[in-house]
Chains A and B, each alone.
Chain A
Amino acid sequence: MADIEKQLRAIEGQVEQAIRSGRESDAARLWTQILVLAPSHVAALTAVGQRAFRSGDLASARAAFDRLTLVAGHDPLHWTNLALICQQQNDAISEAAAIHGALSADPSDLLALILRAELFDRQGNRHQAAAAFGAVATVAPPMARLAPQFRPAVARARSFRDQYDHEFGVFLDQNLARVYEQFGAAPLDRFRDSLDILVGRKRRYQSQPSIFYYPGLPTIEFFDRALFPWLDGFEADTAAIADEFHNVLRADAGFEPYINYASDVPVNQWAELNHNPSWSAFHLLRDGQRVADNAVRCPRTMQLLATVPAPDQPGRSPVAMFSLLRPQTRIPPHTGVSNVRLVAHVPLIVPEGCGFRVGNTTRRWVPGQAWVFDDTIEHEAWNDSTQQRAVLIFDVWHPHLAEEERALITALMRSINAFTGDRGGFEL
């Protein structure tokens, strides 16, 4: 026994030398000698198998890798090599078994997942191929971090999956038309959204407040208008609000840039709009306080604002303002500070070419039609027209918060202020 070990070590040393000095056929001969002494030698089986595969001797290659999967089946590489040999031999049944072996060893082995998807595809099994390509797309890291030899296969997996999802979506739409008809009157918006998300036409958006996240609330882009009956007053009086807006606009005093970061802090996506009058505001309520000079000029608007279930967060909320978006201005995608408050829009002046997106949903402002949205979901706005756009904006308690919860949040903000010794800002 010890003798064989000694002999083996000696031949292994010779193999190493032969490889180092580029004597390939010598190395091959030595590997074969090793296999005589140790038929389960992993390195030797691998070398012999690979050499046979390169020279087109598929039967010998297969014998080597068959044995490797037997003696070292924990390594998915031997299985995927075996699968590739079976593929060359047009032996789909054995190929499937080898892929199965690789995935048993490691369910997220990327090469095995690719081979499985491609096999289903070759066999014309479109649905299983789509699921398998989907698994490839899920498991693969982003292209930039992906080994170059996998990139074409992963790109193909993604496009196969996208194409399949598209057809799948069309099929589901046709099949569900009957259901939509049957439930004509029932609200099925969120069900339709779920279908769009399932087939990749929409994304799952989450609430991403930058400062204060309140758990247990639903993440809804635009809320049901019926939850805010007091908006009727704003809608009915849109003309009066717009008059007050026009008056202050003509006076041309009190508007200031909406984004006002100190110039010495990093401003990321706000660089362009920082201190920029392209997006400006006329504040009526600011950080929880009435802005006296401005408020006296807009009595009707202030009366209406008094009817709002406004958040009471000293130093932070409520806020209310006329928001003025100049022509050709885009507000980049961003998220708000806290999901305990929602944001209401009462559109006043809306030229063609303006839009507003919250998560998956893009809407147009229509004067006289107010809405309430969750600003902790990614949202953006644009005015691509040649005229300015004006909207009355203010915040509202999230309607799902109980009275006690609102009181607790108010107490929390007061406590933070008491500790930091000042009012204002949403930072800790």
Chain B
Amino acid sequence: MQEHEVSVLVQHGVKALRQGNTAEAIAAFSKVVDAGRGDASLLMALAAAYRRERRLEPALEKAAHALRMEPANLQAVLLNADLLADSGQTRGAAAYYLAALKLASTLESIPEAVQPDLARGQAFCNEQTSLTEHSVRVALAAEPASMASPRFCESLDIMFGRTKPYLQQPKHYFFPDLPHTAFFDPNQFDWVAELEQHTDAIREEVLALLATPDQFKPYVERNFRSPQFGVNRMVNNPEWSAFYLWKHGELIEQNAARCPRTVAAIGRVPLTQMPARSPSVLFSIMKPNAHIPPHHGMINTRLIAHLPLIVPNGCEFRVGNHIRRWQEGKVWIFDDTIEHEAWNRSDQTRAILLFEVWRPELSNAERDGVNSLFAAIDAHTGQAPAWEI
């Protein structure tokens, strides 16, 4: 077929389409395509003409052919998706819409004309996901003990896009191969039950401190040795404050002297021991209406334990995907290198005892390794570490 003949047929077909004569357009375009002279855009035009005639099978065939010629043609991907949707092949349509969205995300600029199609594709995918989710949840509800596993429930929420995975992201030191666990089972720690028995005594001591003003210092103090992101608003902010019994490995004697029963009770807990860093044991105070914004801890070889002492209604704590309420006298233990935040939505002060323990998965050799590592770091830098709890 001559170049000239191709252009006459294409023009003829385009004109026929404009006049609403789809059959004529299909005939003209098909001649060019059958002669092996059709490019991707002509195949797409032919597919669109078939679509108008509600002849979905040949439309799909031509659209697929166009995509084979130009695999990265966004409009061709969308046309395939639309045709699959027209013909009731929802899964296929969703897969192609997804491919179109993925492809669009890699492009520097997206033609204005395609934007509504992409939005429609996104809506289609969302609807498919929510239909799948509904059906799956109904089916799983019939399974015995289906919601007994918190990890499994979380995996469903992640799969259906309700939330995302939260991982350990220590700011300073990352120890690999450990499970990404937000809250630990307190039964794994044999000191918990005994410490909880001393809740009343410990609470009396913090109440005495709270009765005297100016005992507490802002939890996040300005530090010029490393940039402070994320908790910027909390820097030097008295809404979140602390009273240390041990700080970065050292007993604060005048403070400890005021809380002898707390010191005695905590003495039976196997605290993390790290030169110039651990243990830290403190009363953490949140003022009414305070919000501690999402942040991550320094190292993932330790866990943070809370013994809640004064917990007004309206206080909440989130670690990753898990939101909990403190209960006075009930210890919990969490990984502070997973994004976490806290709220006191009440008009009263919240008080907890906070301290750190080794991650139970670490062997004694590994704990010694970590301590030797930080001792070596201090020997190298010749200065006290910039440390946070």
> Could you list which residues of chain A lie within 8 angstroms of chain B, going by C-beta atoms?
100, 103-104, 107-108, 113, 127-128, 131, 135, 138-139, 168, 171-172, 175-176, 178-179, 182-183, 186-188, 190-191, 193-195, 197-198, 204, 206, 211-220, 263-267, 400, 402, 404-405, 407-409, 411-412, 414-416, 418-420, 422, 427-428
State in angstroms the CA–CA spacing of A266 and B222 once bound together: 50
B179 within 8 A of A: yes
- Nearest residue, chain B, Cβ from A100: B224
Q: Can you list 26 pairs linking A and B with CB atoms under 8 Å apart? A: A103-B227, A131-B386, A172-B377, A175-B380, A176-B372, A178-B372, A183-B369, A190-B366, A191-B366, A191-B369, A193-B176, A215-B155, A216-B179, A218-B180, A219-B176, A264-B71, A264-B80, A265-B67, A404-B148, A407-B143, A408-B146, A411-B140, A415-B136, A415-B139, A419-B135, A427-B91
Kindly identify, within residues 11 to 68 of chain B, every residue whose CB is under 8 Å from any CB belonging to chain A: 64, 67-68
> Are the C-beta atoms of A176 and B373 separated by less than 8 Å?
yes
Measured between beta carbons, the chain B residues less than 8 angstroms from A176 are 369, 372-373, 376
Using A215-B158, A215-B321, A219-B180 as known contacts, say yes or no to A419 and B131 having CB atoms under 8 A apart. yes
**Closest Cβ of chain B: how far from A266's Cβ, in Å?**
6
In the assembled complex, how far is the CB of residue B80 from the closest CB belonging to chain A, in whole angstroms? 7
Which of A178, A408, A409 has most chain B Cβ within 10 Å? A408
Q: Is there contact, CB below 8 Å, between A215 and B165? A: yes
Question: How many chain-B residues does the 8 Å CB contact rule pick out?
Answer: 75
**Docked-complex contact A264 and B67, CB < 8 angstroms:** yes
Asked whether any CB of chain A lies closer than 8 Å to the CB of B114, the reply is: no
Contacts of B178 in A (CB 8 A): 218
Q: How far is the CA of A193 from the CA of B103 in the complex (A)?
A: 37
Considering the complex, give the chain B residue whose CB is closest to the CB of A407. Answer: B143
A139 adjacent to B176 (CB under 8 Å): no
Number of A-B contacts (CB under 8 A): 187
**Interface residue from A108, A214, A422 paired with B229 (Cβ < 8 Å):** A108
Interface residues of B (CB under 8 A from A): 64, 67-68, 71-72, 77, 80, 91, 94-96, 99, 102-103, 128-129, 131-132, 135-136, 139-140, 143, 145-146, 148-149, 151-152, 154-156, 158-159, 165-167, 173-181, 222, 224-229, 232, 235, 320-321, 363-366, 368-370, 372-373, 375-377, 379-383, 386
* A172 and B376 within 8 A (CB): yes
In whole angstroms, how far apart are the Cα atoms of A67 and B366 in the complex? 55
List of B residues within 8 angstroms of A266 by Cβ:
71-72, 77, 99, 102-103
Contact A188 B366 (CB under 8 A): yes
Instruction: Report which of B132, B368, B377, B383 forms a contact with A428, defined as CB distance below 8 A.
Output: B132
Most A CB within 10 A of own CB, among B178, B228, B366: B366
| B91 CB contact (under 8 Å) in A135, A175, A422 | A422
A190 proximity list for chain B (CB < 8 A): 175-177, 366
- Closest Cβ–Cβ distance, residue B187 to chain A (whole Å): 16
Contact B135 A204 (CB under 8 A): no
A contacts with B: majority SS: helix
Query: Is A183 in contact with B368, judged by CB distance below 8 angstroms?
Result: yes
Q: Hey, which chain A residues are within 8 Å of B366, CB to CB?
A: 186, 188, 190-191
For B69, the closest partner residue in chain A by CB is A264
**A211 surroundings in chain B (CB, below 8 A):** 159
Instruction: Report the minimal beta-carbon distance from B20 to chain A, rounded to whole angstroms.
Output: 30
Cβ contacts under 8 Å, A138 to chain B: 227
Q: Distance in Å from the Cβ of B312 to the closest Cβ of chain A? A: 31
Contact B369 A179 (CB under 8 A): yes
The residue on A at minimum CB distance from B322 is A215
Check if B136 sits within 8 Å of A416, measured CB to CB: yes
> How long is the Cα–Cα vector from A100 to B225 in the complex, in angstroms?
10
Closest to A191 in B: B369
Pair A412/B151 contact, Cβ less than 8 Å: no
A203 to chain B: closest CB distance in Å? 10
